[in-house]
Amino acid sequence: MADQVLNLKDIRKAYNIDTEVETEILHGIDLNLNKGEFCALIGPSGSGKSTLLNIIGLLDRPTSGTLAIEGRDTGALNDTELTKLRGQRIGFVFQYHHLIAAFTALENVMMPMLVQRGFADAAMQQRAEYLLAQVGLTKWQNNSSQNMSGGQQQRVAIARALAVNPALVLADEPTGNLDTKSAETAFDLMREVNTTNGTTFLIVTHNMSLAKRCDRTIEVIDGAIHGAV
């Protein structure tokens, strides 16, 4: 249990509850992710992958079931506590990188730490510089995110996801908007971080060749897990 980063038990998610058009998207998901795992989450569009990812990322609440992050049950937490836990233990990488254009690459990487602590400090900057070096973007650290290529921006987004040293990184089609070479670079980078730091990754992808290179592939079809491939 100590090494379990994520534990989902019978997670259900329904919309329009108690109305004639009530729709259940997730039908009792059970899923465990251990520390250091590098997993792919695959499935056709509309299968419930993004809903599941939002619930795991504490951006959304399940209708029923239990969700624990590093053994801590999140069901009883209020919105403020969920936000805090999300900021401290979960990192996000999105398909469209979502860097904040008003800030430089370095500042974007500092952002999760800044949000947590309120004020910038030297340690924060050193950590951001270290992460940007890890993703090979030291030269570009003072560039506005708008003046970088898509691949570079996604690498900054990966560095940003690692800023608070999270237990779990959730990546929603992180290579979906990149060319093949950049996609390879971004994937390799995440793999390297996983190997080096032992950070757990859950990557939503449609790219089966990348999925096959993960430790485990979890397939979601029609709101239910169809087992590991």
| Positions that interact with another protein (CB under 8 A) | 54, 57, 59-60, 79-80, 83-84, 86-88, 92, 94, 98, 100-103, 107, 110-112, 114-116, 118-122, 125, 160, 164
Q: Which is nearer to another protein, 37 or 107 (CB)?
A: 107
Q: CB of 171: closest distance to another protein in angstroms?
A: 12
Q: Closest approach of Cβ 116 to another protein, in Å?
A: 6
Q: What is the dihedral of CA 115, 61, 218, 10, to 10 degrees?
A: 140
Nearer to another protein, 98 or 213 (CB): 98
Q: Which is nearer to another protein, 48 or 57 (CB)?
A: 57
> Shortest distance, CB of residue 181 to another protein, whole angstroms?
26
**Closer Cβ to another protein, 102 or 133, answer by number:** 102
- In whole angstroms, give the CA distance from residue 116 to residue 26: 31
First to last CA, the chain: 24
Task: Count CA within 13 A, CB hemisphere, residue 227.
Answer: 1
Q: Which is nearer to another protein, 163 or 189 (CB)?
A: 163
Q: Which amino acid is at 112?
A: P
Closest CA to 220 of 29, 4, 7: 29
Closest CB 46 distance from another protein, rounded Å:
14
Q: How far is the CB of 80 from another protein (least distance, A)?
A: 6
Q: How far is the CB of 219 from another protein (least distance, A)?
A: 23
**Strand-pair category, 216-221 with 224-228:** antiparallel
Taking the least distance from each CB to another protein, the nearer of 39 and 164 is: 164
d(CA 172, CA 151): 15
Upper half-sphere CA count for residue 177 (Cβ side, 13 Å): 17
Taking Cα atoms as reference points, which of 41, 31, 24 lies closest to residue 7?
31
